[in-house]
A and B are shown apart, each in its own frame.
Chain A
Amino acid sequence: MIEGILTGVNTAFSGYNIIMVMLGCFAGTIIGMLPGLGPMSAIALMIPITYGFDPASAMILMAGVYYGAIFGGSTSSILINAPGVAGTVSSSFDGYPMAKNGQAGKALAIAAYASFSGGTIAALFLLVAAPQLAKVSLSFQSADYFALMCVGLLSIAAFASKGQFLKAMIMTALGLALATVGQDALSDITRFAFGNINLMDGISFVLLVMATFAMSEAFMIIFKKMDINFKASDVSKDKLGSIKLSKDEVKEMVPVVGRTSILGFAVGVLPGAGATIASFLAWGFERSIASAKEKLKFGKGSIKGLTAPETANNAACTGSFVPLLTLGIPGSGTTAVMLGALLSFGVQPGPRLYIDQPELFWAVIISMYIGNVVLLVLNLPLIPYIARILAIPKNILVPLVLFFSVTGVYLISFNAFDIYFMAIVALLSLVLRILKYPMPPLILGFILGGMLEKNLRRALLINDGSFSFMWERPISLALFIIMIVIVLLQIYQGSKKKAELN
């Protein structure tokens, strides 16, 4: 393990990879700041750029983009009460009132310190937890993997659906169905291509992500007449105020950081749950344990109320790398996009990654520390300047996002068919979004589809076509019980909601 860590340190601290982290954090901050564009779009936009890179550098860049986007989302949450990222919605509860009280600089500094602490503490947990989980998961068989992926799909449908579980399940089924287009991995039989040569290799993952996120987000900004413009003068240095924190304020933050980084990390590790749930839970948790006097401050500019979600969302981002790196199963939509990117590099994340490619495994973990330092050292002083990006008018921003999305897909295949197909998928996703069909389950279904089929095939062949592996293996049985619990919880919540409405 020590040898692996040293290799990782060596890789992560190479001049080239440090530049990657810095670029990633910087680009992520800018994209995450723009309302409507979240970490998934930010990472999707980065994929085509990383095609010439080695997998370690590409992952480091994308991980940097991920934290950067979360940090950027906090900035727009605090300054203009328009979260760029769902995971930073709860940061606006106390961050925006602070900004309105003339303490925008202080709020941004609290967000930066809390993000840094949450990310760093969680990276320490990851350093310990990931190898242990990787060792345990070496004993997993196909049946267990199949069950684990089903849990992942069900839980992302449950968490991402916002009360629309059935719609999320339709999206999951659609994602799985789209994954079956093209050649079957084992028999080489072409399925659902309808004789179209462009579909014989299957649907490109980058195309689907770009169309359902970056492009449809751009359409949505125009479609909903979203007013995302912001006066550059409002984020000038004079208006932000001081970014210095007093000793008492730091003292107030420290215990909150400790508690919520553990909470955030634990939530991030769970499949399906991510930064959004972690940040809401942390805010609610801190509010519930606060004294009656402090409770009144929550929602009106409480330091604890801003520290809690900011720490938890960054800790959850780091936590979500645990299932991705050790089991090869993404815990969130964003890590699903990263998994797709890794697979396209020919890297198969999972328990063997830790043994076969320690430089990649450890470099990503070590780069998280560097990323957190970069966010604090580089981004915090630059916030007044970076925040001016919010002043880009939407009629300039939207064509640029469309251009980057189209170029990203075109540069991979040089096939104009992909552009047409992408435009159609983006338009359909826009309609589905308006009808409140969530997109992350579709992406996760699409990415896990191939692996799910492979593991189900193996499990059935080993068991002579019988599904008895579901209850014969203890790990599979435990996972299927979790699945049943998730479904029952959704039924219970649905019936409760119905009763409330009645």
Chain B
Amino acid sequence: MTINYTRISALIFLLIFLVYSYLAGEIQVFAFDEDADFNARTFPKFISYLGIFVSFLTLVLSKSEDEKFGHYEWLKVFVLFVLVFTYGIIIKSVGFFLSTNLFLLVSYYYLGVRSYKALLLCSFPVVAGLQFMLHGLLDVYIRDPFLQFLGVIS
């Protein structure tokens, strides 16, 4: 049996469903429900059987395929992932308007946009437009300490 990425992923899924099966058995149910025909454990148990069965079959039956990971832009995707994560961290404290503009500006710049016109036109008007639509038209409240400080929103 040759090792390929599909087999490795199938093995990971097999382990995930085995753990899921164990955890399904550990779900606390009411004492009167313990021997019932159907309780909170039943459906997860069935899913785990299905998952274990199909991932095992994939592990055994998969053919060697040429998955290549080398020539892709892993770093760029990872940096964007970190940027999204950071956006999530600062959105509450900094506020929607400033954090979103910051996220967009840094992302554009990282991906190679150097024109100041493009950088500014594709960030501030877009965010301001969306925020106006949500806040002003659809009545969706977005907490924004920065705009509150400036007195733009109450």
Contacts and interface: CB of A to CB of B under 8 A. Distances in A.
A196 interface: no
Chain A interface residue bracket vs B: 35 or more
Interface string A451-492: 011001100110011000000000000000000000000000
B108 interface: yes
A52 B140 contact: yes
B142 interface: yes
A427 B28 CA distance: 32
A192 interface: yes
Contacts of B143: 414
A322 to B, nearest CB: 28
Interface stretch (A94-102, A133-141, A169-177, A284-292): A169-177
B153 interface: no
Contacts of A296: none
Contacts of A222: 73, 76-77, 80, 111
A27 B21 CA distance: 43
A166 B74 CA distance: 27
A324 B91 CA distance: 37
Contacts of B65: 436
A65 to B, nearest CB: 17
Nearest to A421: B88
A1 interface: no
B144 to A, nearest CB: 12
A187 B39 contact: yes
A430 interface: yes
B57 interface: yes
A245 interface: no
Interface string B7-21: 001100100110010
A293 interface: no
B73 A166 contact: no
Interface string A212-227: 0001000100111100
B134 A411 contact: yes
Contacts of A52: 138-140
A187 B16 CA distance: 25
A460 to B, nearest CB: 5
Contacts of A410: 91
Interface in B102-154: 103-104, 107-108, 111-113, 118, 122, 126, 130, 134, 138-140, 142-143
Interface string A491-502: 000100010010
B122 A169 contact: no
Contact of A395 (B39, B51, B108): B108
Contact of B17 (A173, A394, A465): A173
A411 B81 contact: no
A219 B138 CA distance: 30
A400 interface: yes
B23 A395 contact: no
A403 B104 contact: yes
Contacts of B76: 222-223
B27 to A, nearest CB: 5
* Residue of B74, B91, B118 with highest tally of chain A CB at under 10 A: B91
A422 B81 CA distance: 10
Closest 9 CB pairs of A and B: A419-B88, A465-B37, A395-B111, A399-B107, A173-B51, A169-B54, A453-B43, A184-B40, A423-B84
Interface of A: 49, 51-52, 166-167, 169-170, 172-174, 176-177, 180, 184, 186-187, 189, 191-192, 215, 219, 222-225, 393-396, 398-400, 402-403, 406-407, 410-411, 414, 416, 419-420, 422-423, 426-427, 430, 432, 434-437, 452-453, 456-457, 460-461, 464-465, 494, 498, 501
13 contacts: A52-B140, A170-B58, A172-B50, A173-B17, A174-B13, A177-B48, A186-B40, A189-B40, A223-B72, A399-B108, A402-B80, A406-B88, A464-B37
Interface of B: 5-6, 9-10, 13, 16-17, 20, 23-24, 27-30, 33, 37-40, 42-44, 46-48, 50-51, 54-55, 57-58, 61-63, 65, 67, 69, 72-74, 76-77, 80-81, 84-85, 87-89, 91-92, 100, 103-104, 107-108, 111-113, 118, 122, 126, 130, 134, 138-140, 142-143
